[in-house]
Amino acid sequence: MWTADTETKDLRAAWVANLDALIARAPDVVVPGHMSVDAPMGVAANTFTKSYLEAFEEELDRAAT
Protein backbone atom coordinates (compact mmCIF):
# COMPACT_ATOMS: atom_id res chain seq x y z
CA MET A 1 0.00 0.00 0.00
CA TRP A 2 1.37 3.40 -0.96
CA THR A 3 1.47 5.71 2.07
CA ALA A 4 4.12 8.15 0.87
CA ASP A 5 1.47 10.70 -0.14
CA THR A 6 0.07 10.71 3.40
CA GLU A 7 3.07 11.97 5.32
CA THR A 8 1.16 13.20 8.37
CA LYS A 9 -1.03 11.52 10.95
CA ASP A 10 -3.90 13.86 9.97
CA LEU A 11 -3.72 12.85 6.31
CA ARG A 12 -3.75 9.17 7.22
CA ALA A 13 -6.67 9.76 9.61
CA ALA A 14 -8.57 11.45 6.76
CA TRP A 15 -7.92 8.39 4.59
CA VAL A 16 -9.33 6.13 7.33
CA ALA A 17 -12.35 8.43 7.70
CA ASN A 18 -13.00 8.15 3.95
CA LEU A 19 -12.75 4.37 4.21
CA ASP A 20 -15.26 4.44 7.08
CA ALA A 21 -17.65 6.39 4.85
CA LEU A 22 -17.24 3.82 2.07
CA ILE A 23 -17.66 0.90 4.47
CA ALA A 24 -20.88 2.46 5.79
CA ARG A 25 -22.29 2.34 2.25
CA ALA A 26 -21.76 -1.45 2.22
CA PRO A 27 -20.76 -1.75 -1.45
CA ASP A 28 -21.16 -5.10 -3.19
CA VAL A 29 -18.19 -4.39 -5.44
CA VAL A 30 -15.07 -2.31 -4.87
CA VAL A 31 -12.79 -1.77 -7.86
CA PRO A 32 -9.27 -1.04 -6.62
CA GLY A 33 -6.76 0.94 -8.62
CA HIS A 34 -4.16 -1.77 -8.06
CA MET A 35 -4.65 -5.27 -6.74
CA SER A 36 -3.31 -8.77 -6.56
CA VAL A 37 -5.17 -11.60 -8.26
CA ASP A 38 -6.64 -12.86 -4.99
CA ALA A 39 -7.59 -9.45 -3.54
CA PRO A 40 -11.13 -9.01 -2.20
CA MET A 41 -13.54 -7.09 -4.42
CA GLY A 42 -16.31 -6.19 -1.95
CA VAL A 43 -16.39 -4.18 1.26
CA ALA A 44 -13.59 -6.45 2.50
CA ALA A 45 -11.24 -4.44 0.28
CA ASN A 46 -12.05 -1.32 2.29
CA THR A 47 -11.81 -3.06 5.65
CA PHE A 48 -8.46 -4.59 4.66
CA THR A 49 -7.09 -1.17 3.70
CA LYS A 50 -8.39 0.38 6.92
CA SER A 51 -6.82 -2.39 9.02
CA TYR A 52 -3.53 -1.97 7.18
CA LEU A 53 -3.49 1.78 7.79
CA GLU A 54 -4.32 1.33 11.47
CA ALA A 55 -1.49 -1.21 11.86
CA PHE A 56 0.83 1.13 9.94
CA GLU A 57 -0.03 3.97 12.34
CA GLU A 58 0.62 1.75 15.37
CA GLU A 59 4.03 0.77 14.01
CA LEU A 60 4.91 4.40 13.32
CA ASP A 61 4.06 5.24 16.93
CA ARG A 62 6.45 2.49 18.09
CA ALA A 63 9.25 3.27 15.64
CA ALA A 64 12.35 5.05 16.83
CA THR A 65 12.97 8.35 15.13
pLDDT tens for each residue of 41-50? 889 889 999 9
Instruction: State the total domains in the chain.
Output: 1
Q: What is the pTM of this model?
A: 0.82
**Is residue 24 a part of any domain in this protein?**
yes
- pLDDT of 25 strictly over 90: yes
> Among residues 24, 5, 7, 8, which one has the least CA distance to residue 50?
24
Read off the pLDDT of residues 1-19 as tens digits, 9 standing for 90 and up.
788 889 999 999 999 999 9
Q: What's the CA angle centered on 38, arms 37 and 40, to 5 degrees?
A: 115
DSSP state of 46: H
CB distance 6 to 52 below 8 Å: no
**Is residue 35 a part of any domain in this protein?**
no
- pLDDT of 65 strictly over 70: no
Full residue range of the structural domain in which residue 59 is found = 1-30+40-65
**Is residue 61 a part of any domain in this protein?**
yes
The better pLDDT of the pair 35, 25 is held by 25
C-alpha 11: how far from its chain's center? 12
pLDDT of 24 reads 96
